Chains A and B, each alone.
Chain A
Amino acid sequence: MSVQLSYKEGVLTAKLTGEIDHHSAREMREAIDDTAQKLKPYCLRLDFMEVPFMDSSGVGLILGRVRLCNFWRGRVVLCGLSPNLNKMVELAGISSVAAIERRAG
């Protein structure tokens, strides 16, 4: 499964695995939204540690989840971004709508 979800104390963490493109983003989106809409977490944490590739479809995936969480005033946090993914996130100016946790090390 390309998304592994875990919930603890208001924080929903979605661990994403594999390349994110238009093809794979749909399944990830559906899995995340299904659970997020039920739990309405105050924080949705998207973990990109196991994502080796992402194109602008990944940006759409992130921005769409920010919009969704806005409905209940939840926020989105991104973590585990590789330098490649970080380049994409910076180009898209995502840091103005989601918090970015730097990769350790």
Chain B
Amino acid sequence: MMKPVNQAQISFPSYSVNEGFGRAAVAAFLAQLDPTVADLADMRTAVSEAVTNAIVHGYRDKKGTVYISAKIFEDGKAVVRVRDKGCGIPDVKQAMEPLFTTGGEERAGLGFAVMQSFCDSVRVTSTVGRGTSVTLTKHFEPKE
């Protein structure tokens, strides 16, 4: 395993007003990879999905803390992990199916589908009652 050339951690309470802060903070950190506007926009969207899920689903019954770590590697790879200590996901495979939602009328059930299509890989580990960790990996080709 390569060592990251730089890394950052942030955490904040699960208030929905912090969704914008979470994705903006990660995007600001990843800007040092000199990414294209489109690549950075993709990662920003994927982070927004993961952070929103932690707030809306993970901490649906109680407030808690959302943890984000971002690492960048020499070859232009970025790894962003979003964690919550919320309710956890009973069936991760089912949760990741497009259109599956427990969120009711106003949720599309597309968060994981967006993460998967906007990143190179998405890894989810979850334990009911303990929380969920979502790891997003994306390679950034340097701008011309």
Contacts and interface: CB of A to CB of B under 8 A. Distances in A.
Interface of A: 19, 21-23, 25, 29, 53, 55-57, 59-61, 63-64, 67, 83-84, 88, 91-92
A60 B132 CA distance: 23
B19 A23 contact: yes
B interface majority secondary structure: helix
B107 A60 contact: yes
A92 to B, nearest CB: 6
B108 A91 contact: no
B117 A56 contact: no
B20 A59 contact: no
Contacts, number: 58
B127 to A, nearest CB: 24
Interface of B: 16-17, 19-20, 38, 41, 44-45, 48-49, 52, 55-56, 105-108, 110-111, 113-114, 117
A interface majority secondary structure: helix
Nearest to B110: A56
A56 B44 contact: no
B113 A88 contact: no
B108 A22 contact: no
A56 B99 CA distance: 11
B106 A23 contact: no
Given A55-B45, A57-B52, A64 B105 contact: yes
